[in-house]
């Protein structure tokens, strides 16, 4: 490995180089009584956000306002590990720590 950079080489990103990204925090959305957030997903229209937590809850939020639009619970869950909207946006799937997957009809 060379110690020098030459034109055409990929740029080095490491402790001595600052990443070019400058993201701005838009919102911090806390889930009521949440132990930990394990997964988040946006709806395909970009207007909905689902966040899954360690208490077995899935919280639905409106992206524009940040407002809570609903909360879904997995019965007897040890925590929701994953969440995803179906391609049509009409179903929401959540997987929990007990090995179960739950489906909710969104319309």
The answer to the question of residue 19 being in a domain is no
Query: The CATH number of the domain where 88 resides is what?
Result: 2.40.10
CA distance 12 to 30: 36
CA distance 1 to 84: 42
Residue among 58, 56, 38, 57 at smallest CA distance from 48: 58
Say whether pLDDT at 64 is over 90: no
Helices marked H in 1-107: none
CA distance 49 to 43: 6
Number of domains composing the chain: 1
Q: Which domain holds residue 74?
A: 37-105
The answer to the question of residue 16 being in a domain is no
The answer to the question of residue 101 being in a domain is yes
The answer to the question of residue 18 being in a domain is no
Token readout for 75 is: 């019965």
For the stretch 70-100, pLDDT in tens is: 888 866 677 888 999 999 888 999 998 888 8
């Amino acid at each position: 490995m060379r110690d020098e950079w030459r034109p055409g080489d990929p740029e080095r990103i490491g402790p001595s180089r600052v990443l070019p990204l400058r993201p701005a925090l838009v919102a911090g959305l806390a889930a009521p009584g949440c132990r930990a957030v394990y997964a988040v997903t946006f709806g395909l229209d970009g207007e909905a956000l689902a966040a899954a937590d360690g208490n077995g809850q899935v919280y639905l939020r409106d992206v524009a306002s940040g407002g809570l639009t609903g909360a879904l619970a997995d019965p007897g869950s040890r925590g929701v590990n994953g969440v995803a909207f179906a391609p049509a946006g009409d179903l929401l799937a959540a997987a929990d720590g007990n090995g179960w997957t739950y489906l909710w009809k969104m319309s």
